[in-house]
Amino acid sequence: MKCLVAGMLCILLVTSPQVLAQGTDDKQNFYIIRPNDTESDIIRKAANVVPTPRQLRWQQLELTAFFHIGVNTFTNREWGTGKEDPKIFNPSQLDARQWVRVAKEAGIKQVILTAKHHDGFCLWPTATTEHSVKNSPWKNGQGDVMREVVEACQEYGLGVGVYLSPWDMNSPVYGTDAYNDLFVAQLTELLTNYGQIDEVWFDGANGEGPNGKKQVYDFDRWYRHIRKLQPTATIAIMGPDVRWVGTETGYGRETEWSVVPADNLEQEAVAANSQQAVAFKPQGDMRGEVLGSREKIRNAKGLVWYPAETDVSIRPGWFYHPGEDDKVKSPEKLLDIYYSSVGRNGVLLLNIPPDTRGLIHESDVKALQGWAKLRQDTFARNFANGAKVKAAGRNKHALLDGKYDTHFTTKSAKDTTAIIELRLKGEQTFDVLMLQENISVGQRIEKFTFEYWKEGQWQKATEGTTVGYKRLLRFEPVTASKVRLRIASSRLNPTISEIGLYKNALSGANYSANKQE
Closest contact distance (angstroms) between CB of 232 and ligand FUL is 23
Q: In terms of CB distance, is 203 or 451 closer to ligand FUL?
A: 203
SS3 487: strand
Rounded CA-CA distance 215/227 in Å is 23
Closest contact distance (angstroms) between CB of 391 and ligand FUL is 43
Which residues ranging from 274 to 333 are in contact with ligand FUL (CB under 6 A)? 311, 318
Q: Where are the beta strands (DSSP E) in 404-514?
A: 408-409, 418-436, 445-454, 457-464, 471-490, 495-496, 498-502
x/- map, 341-380, ligand FUL, by CB under 6 A = ----------------------------------------
Closest contact distance (angstroms) between CB of 337 and ligand FUL is 15
Nearest to 421 by CA among 456, 470, 458, 446: 458
x/- map, 50-79, ligand FUL, by CB under 6 A = ----------------------------x-
Rounded CA-CA distance 503/376 in Å is 11
Closest contact distance (angstroms) between CB of 4 and ligand FUL is 4
Q: In terms of CB distance, is 6 or 178 closer to ligand FUL?
A: 6
Q: In terms of CB distance, is 171 or 462 closer to ligand FUL?
A: 171
Closest contact distance (angstroms) between CB of 205 and ligand FUL is 5
Q: In terms of CB distance, is 166 or 261 closer to ligand FUL?
A: 166
Rounded CA-CA distance 331/511 in Å is 12
Q: In terms of CB distance, is 44 or 68 closer to ligand FUL?
A: 68
Q: In terms of CB distance, is 84 or 446 closer to ligand FUL?
A: 84
* CB-count exposure of residue 200 (10 Å: 0-12, 13-18, 19+): buried
Rounded CA-CA distance 54/59 in Å is 9
Q: In terms of CB distance, is 183 or 452 closer to ligand FUL?
A: 183
Closest contact distance (angstroms) between CB of 267 and ligand FUL is 32
Give the angle 277-279-281 at the CA atoms, nearest 5°: 150
Q: In terms of CB distance, is 205 or 485 closer to ligand FUL?
A: 205
1 binds ligand FUL (CB under 6 A): yes
Q: What are phi and psi of 211, to 5 degrees?
A: -95, 15
Closest contact distance (angstroms) between CB of 344 and ligand FUL is 20
Q: What are phi and psi of 390, to 5 degrees?
A: -120, 120
Closest contact distance (angstroms) between CB of 165 and ligand FUL is 7
SS3 324: helix
Nearest to 477 by CA among 416, 429, 423: 429
Residue nearest to ligand FUL (CB): 203
Q: In terms of CB distance, is 203 or 355 closer to ligand FUL?
A: 203
Closest contact distance (angstroms) between CB of 193 and ligand FUL is 23
Which residues ranging from 4 to 23 are in contact with ligand FUL (CB under 6 A)? 4
Closest contact distance (angstroms) between CB of 80 and ligand FUL is 10
Q: In terms of CB distance, is 205 or 245 closer to ligand FUL?
A: 205
Q: In terms of CB distance, is 84 or 311 closer to ligand FUL?
A: 311
Rounded CA-CA distance 287/74 in Å is 33
Rounded CA-CA distance 289/311 in Å is 17
Closest contact distance (angstroms) between CB of 68 and ligand FUL is 6
Q: What is the DSSP string of 133-154?
A: GGGSSGGGGT--HHHHHHHHHH
For ligand FUL (CB under 6 A), the number of binding residues is 7
Q: With contact defined as beta carbons under 8 Å apart, do 374 and 505 qualify? A: yes
Q: How many CA atoms lie within 13 A of 35 on its CB side?
A: 1
Which residues ranging from 191 to 210 are in contact with ligand FUL (CB under 6 A)? 203, 205
Which residues ranging from 455 to 494 are in contact with ligand FUL (CB under 6 A)? none
Q: What is the DSSP string of 355-376?
A: -TTSS--HHHHHHHHHHHHHHH
Q: In terms of CB distance, is 79 or 453 closer to ligand FUL?
A: 79
Closest contact distance (angstroms) between CB of 346 and ligand FUL is 15
Rounded CA-CA distance 174/487 in Å is 53
Closest contact distance (angstroms) between CB of 167 and ligand FUL is 8
Does an H or E element contain 246, and which? none
Q: Where are the beta strands (DSSP E) in 437-468?
A: 445-454, 457-464
* CB-count exposure of residue 54 (10 Å: 0-12, 13-18, 19+): buried
Q: In terms of CB distance, is 205 or 483 closer to ligand FUL?
A: 205
* CB-count exposure of residue 142 (10 Å: 0-12, 13-18, 19+): exposed
Alpha helices in 260-361 (DSSP H): 267-273, 294-298, 331-341
Rounded CA-CA distance 258/239 in Å is 15
Interface residues with ligand FUL (CB under 6 A) are: 1, 4, 78, 203, 205, 311, 318
